[in-house]
Amino acid sequence: MITQLKEHGVVDIFRDHSKKDILFSLLALSKLQSAAAYYEDQKKNEGYNVNRKLLKRLAYYSVFANAAYGWTMEAATKGKLDRGNLKMLVRKTGIDEEHVVDAKWDSKTHRPAYFIVRDLKHKKIVLSIRGTFSARDVLTDLCASAETFETGHRGKHRAHQGMLEAAVSLAAETKDTVDQELRANPGYSLVLVGHSLGGGVAAVLGTMWERDYPNLQVYGYGSPCVSPEDARPTTCKNMIAVLGEGDPFSCLSLGHIANLSKALSLLCESKELRNMIMIRTDDAVENMEIRDLQWCEKTLNTLWQKMEGEVMYPPGRLFFMKKCSEGIVSIREIHRSKFSRLKLHPRMLDVSRHVPSLYESLLQEMCGL
């Protein structure tokens, strides 16, 4: 893993710089990012509102993504006890037991757990892929370098190695079943869903299968960074990734880490720049002068022009969900550039913002369910 980090341009700041310089650089970069982000938010009302029909669809499939974790996740997050995964699946999704086509609740190395159901109400065959929930899943996460793959479709295809291997394994295990179900149910189409790792694998699998299945749709929740900006599945339009505010995995790839480490290293080497940042950001961001906010934005952009890491992004169309101070939840489609930098802040590793039940509950709340 350490070798992989070095190969991707991650700077060992603890070897190259003093603890004091690192500490002050962390503080300076955090304040610089915070001021630049605040100024950017004030300049424009970014994004497009989500229509009611699509919002209901996102809320609907979030239930299936959450259900892939089984009864133990339901018990841990909601206190609901079911006698087994199948009973939980039936109760939670409303799918009759006879329409549960297949379910593998235990993951293998590079093959996450999943289930396949017939959704008669919407005429869909739904393949739901579980996110990280076991040591085997963690091994998939750790294979984080980008690998090129072919689908027969034009364009560049490049994805997270572990997710690509998981998608290949799932394709080999489930494609015959999916083909059989679609032949037996004319007028049905395929939907792939997943949370976290499951959303990433669903995106890669959807890219592999997009020529085979007309009207294929992919819905990911808390989707991780899957591929570079100019490659599929990042550029696929038949995929939607719902990303919650503060979700730590929406801006985390080897490229993000490499760029952050290089930025910190540059600040460690420039005491003058660190001091200027601290002077310019001495007040709370909402009380800062416009000229200081502008300086912070320009300085941060200049600093990041020196970054060379291969940053990966969540896949497809990106929908950003947040809850404001008044308790109102909003969701907007935004540009992927919002996820180009790993930001330093006190809650940057707060995994409570990533749990599947949070995505489900917030989407249900917006739909009044």
Give the pLDDT of residue 78.
63
pTM above 0.75, yes or no: yes
Judge contact between 218 and 239, C-beta under 8 A: yes
| Strands, E assignment, 164-234 | 189-195, 217-221, 227-228
Mean pLDDT value across residues 180-196 = 97
Percent of the chain whose predicted confidence (pLDDT) is above 70: 91
How many residues belong to the chain?
A: 369
Task: Return contacts of 291-298, CB within 8 angstroms, 24+ apart.
Answer: 292/35, 293/35, 293/36, 293/38, 293/39, 293/42, 294/39, 296/32, 296/35, 296/36, 296/39, 297/35, 297/36, 297/39, 297/40
Contact 250, 314 (CB under 8 A): yes
Mean of the per-residue pLDDT values of the chain: 90
Q: Is the pLDDT of residue 326 over 90?
A: no
Higher pLDDT, 154 or 131: 131
pLDDT over 80 (residue 134) = no
pLDDT of residue 191: 98
What mean pLDDT do residues 107-114 have? Answer: 91
pLDDT tens across 67-97, in order?
999 887 776 666 566 568 999 999 999 999 9
Looking only at the bridges linking them, the beta strands covering 239-244 and 317-323 are: parallel
> Residue 330 has what pLDDT?
87
- What local confidence, expressed as pLDDT, does residue 82 receive? 59
Highest mean pLDDT among 12-16, 325-329, 347-351: 12-16
In the prediction, which pLDDT does 2 show? 47
* Max mean pLDDT range (24-33, 150-159, 224-233): 24-33
% of the chain surpassing 90 pLDDT: 70
Q: What's the Rg (C-alpha) of the chain?
A: 22
